[in-house]
Amino acid sequence: MYTKKLIHEKMFRDPIHNYIKIEYPLILDLINSKEMQRLRRIRQLGTTSFTFHGAEHSRFTHSLGVYEIARRICEIFNQNYSQKMNPTNGWDSSETLLTLTAALLHDVGHGAYSHTFEKIFDTNHEQITCKIITSPQTEIFQILSKISATFPEQVAQVIQKNYPNPQVTQIISSQIDADRMDYLLRDAYYTGTKYGTFDLSRILRTIHPFKNGIAFKESGMHAVEDYIVSRYQMYWQVYFHPTIRAMEIGLKNLLKLAHDLYPHDSKYFKKTSPALIPFFEDTFQLKDYLDLDDGVLNTYFIEWEKGKHSTLSELAGRFLNRHPLKSVSYTKDSKTLMNELKKCIADAGFDPLYYTEMNSSYDLPYDFYRPETQEIRTQIEILFANGKMKELSSLSPLVAALAGNPQKDSRFYFPKEMLNGNQKFSEILAKFAT
Tens digit of each residue's pLDDT (9 = 90 or more) over 88-110:
999 999 999 999 999 999 999 99
Q: Which residues of 108-127 are buried (b: 16+ CB within 10 A; e: fewer)?
A: bbbbbbbebbeebbebebbe
25 and 154 co-located in one domain: yes
Residue 363 has pLDDT above 80, yes or no: no
45 lies in the same domain as 99:
yes
Provide φ and ψ at 214, rounded to 5°: -125, 150
53/178 same-domain check: yes
Final residue of a structural domain among 267, 299, 323 = 323
The conformational region for residue 405 under phi > 0 = left, psi -120 to 50 = alpha, else beta, is beta
Backbone angles phi, psi at 300, to 5 degrees: -65, -40
DSSP 8-state code for residue 7: S
Residue-number span of the structural domain to which 155 is assigned: 10-239
Residues ≥6 apart with Cβ < 8 Å to 251: 46, 47, 113, 116, 319
Q: What are phi and psi of 221, to 5 degrees?
A: -60, -40
Taking all residues of the chain, what is their mean pLDDT, rounded to a whole number? 93
**pLDDT (0 to 100) of residue 369:** 46
Beta strands in 271-356 (DSSP E): 326-329
What is the predicted pLDDT for the residue at 375? 54
Residue 223 within any structural domain of the chain: yes
Span 269-323, pLDDT tens digits:
999 999 999 999 999 999 999 999 999 999 999 999 999 999 999 999 999 999 9
pLDDT by residue (tens digit) across 23-53? 999 999 999 999 999 999 999 999 999 999 9
Q: Is the pLDDT confidence value at 161 over 90? A: yes
Whether residue 371 has pLDDT greater than 50: no
With bands split at pLDDT 50, 70 and 90, how would you rate the model's confidence at 401? Answer: confident
Residue 250 backbone class (left: φ over 0; alpha: ψ -120 to 50; beta: rest):
alpha
Q: For 170-188, write each residue's pLDDT tens digit.
A: 999 999 999 999 999 999 9
The length of the chain is 434
pLDDT at 62 over 80: yes
Q: How many separate helices (H) and strands (E) can be counted in the chain?
A: 22, 9
Could you tell me if residue 292 is inside a domain? yes
Lowest mean pLDDT of 82-86, 90-94, 136-140, name the range.
Answer: 82-86
In a domain, 330, yes or no: no
Q: What is the pLDDT of residue 406?
A: 72
Is the same domain home to 143 and 268? no
Q: How far apart are CA 239 and CA 190, in angstroms?
A: 13
> Is the same domain home to 126 and 260?
no
* In-domain check, residue 76: yes
pLDDT at 311: 98
Q: Same structural domain for residues 24 and 77?
A: yes
pLDDT for res 1? 64
In a domain, 203, yes or no: yes
- Give the pLDDT score at 370: 44
Sequence letter at residue 18: N
Whether residue 206 lies inside any domain: the answer is yes
How many domains does the structure of the chain reveal? 2
Domain boundary among 303, 323, 343: 323
Co-location of 30 and 89 in the same domain: yes
* 78, 174: one domain: yes
Predicted confidence at residue 434, as pLDDT, reads: 53
The verdict on 163 and 265 lying in the same domain is no
Indicate if 311 and 296 belong to the same structural domain: yes
Q: Taking 90 as the threshold, does the pLDDT of residue 377 lie above it?
A: no
Q: Is residue 371 part of a domain?
A: no
- Residue 375 within any structural domain of the chain: no
The CATH number of the domain holding residue 268 is 1.20.1250.30
What's the pLDDT band for 433 if we cut at 50, 70, 90? low
Percentage with pLDDT > 90 across the chain: 82
* pLDDT(240) > 70: yes
Q: Read off the CATH number of the domain in which 38 is found.
A: 1.10.3210.10
Answer yes or no: is pLDDT of 239 > 80: yes
Q: What is the pLDDT of residue 372?
A: 42
| C-alpha to C-alpha distance for 4 and 359, rounded to whole angstroms | 50
* 235 plus 259 within the same structural domain: no
Q: Which of 272, 307, 323 is the last residue of a domain?
A: 323
Q: Are residues 131 and 142 in the same domain?
A: yes
- Compute the distance between CA of residue 89 and CA of residue 63 in angstroms, rounded to an integer: 28
